[in-house]
Amino acid sequence: MYDYQYVYYKNSYLLRQLQYYPYVQLTVIAVFGVLAYIAFSYSKTAEQNRVWVGLAKETAHQLGTPLSSLMAWVEYFKSEPKLAEMGITEELGKDIKKLEMITARFSNIGSVPILKQERLYDVVQATISYLQPRISTKVRIEVHEESPGITAAINKPLFDWVIENLCKNAVDAMSGIGKIDVNISKGSEGKVYIDVTDNGKGMNKSSLKRVFQPGFTTKKRGWGLGLTLVKRIVENYHQGKIIVKSSVVDEGTTFRIVLRT
């Protein structure tokens, strides 16, 4: 008779394996949890993107029809000497240009925008020339270029929108008087910096943390959407970065955009 009997000096192999089982189980649960979280946040971002893009596309689309009709009317007015003399056609033409600009912005944000190498100084200067007469005469905006001819791949209508939003915020941070400097410079590894500096009221630490959050505003009539849009345009549409480079209460703020050449 070969009947074996085991005498264990320690826990059996099975029992030792069982010791680890709860850890394995917990790890599996944790992995599932993480995967579920990633899937959820991904679908949330995708939904947000769809809302942005859909709304923008629809706006551009709806603006298109009255705009082309207005353009036709202006052409007709031009042939009426009386109206042309009164300068009405010219003013109408300017408003139409502005509407066209808005439509271009919305239609670009509602599609995959085409990026083109542009001279940043020229693009920024054009936006500033448009903005300057529309803000207080006591706020001066200056554009500087570290070396001539700095270019970056940008979508002009969207980049205009970024500069306009940053400058408007800078103007709002001042009490009617002040100076805004836009500095264009080259960084390392083909990076290009666009710094927008104001000498406005600056931001405290808690504001600094929240500036890019949708809905964060300290203004009575603000929507808190300007910087959210700016961040979106710079990061999603230009693969760039935007940061608050510095902000000191009562001294001023510098926003830095980082793009690639």
By CB under 6 A, name the binding residues for ligand ATP: 169-170, 173, 198, 200-203, 207, 211, 216-219, 222-228, 253
Cβ-based burial of 77 (10 A; exposed 0-12, middle 13-18, buried ≥19): middle
Task: Please state whether beta strands 252-260 and 116-119 pair in parallel, antiparallel, or not at all (unpaired).
Answer: unpaired
Q: Which of 200, 144, 129, 149 is nearest to 171 (CA)?
A: 200
Contacted entry of Mg ion, ligand ATP, none for residue 211, CB cut-off 5 to 8 Å set by kind: ligand ATP
CB of 197 to ligand ATP, least distance (A): 9
CB of 73 to ligand ATP, least distance (A): 31
CB of 146 to ligand ATP, least distance (A): 22
> Quick one: 141 or 150, whose CB is closer to ligand ATP?
141
Contacting positions for Mg ion (CB under 5 A) = 169, 226
Contacted entry of Mg ion, ligand ATP, none for residue 52, CB cut-off 5 to 8 Å set by kind: none
Looking at the DSSP assignment, which residues form a beta bridge with residue 144? 183
CA dihedral 192, 252, 175, 171 (to 10 degrees): 10
- Tokens linked to 3: 């009947």
**What is the C-alpha separation between 217 and 210, in angstroms, rounded?**
9
> Quick one: 152 or 232, whose CB is closer to Mg ion?
232
> Quick one: 110 or 226, whose CB is closer to ligand ATP?
226
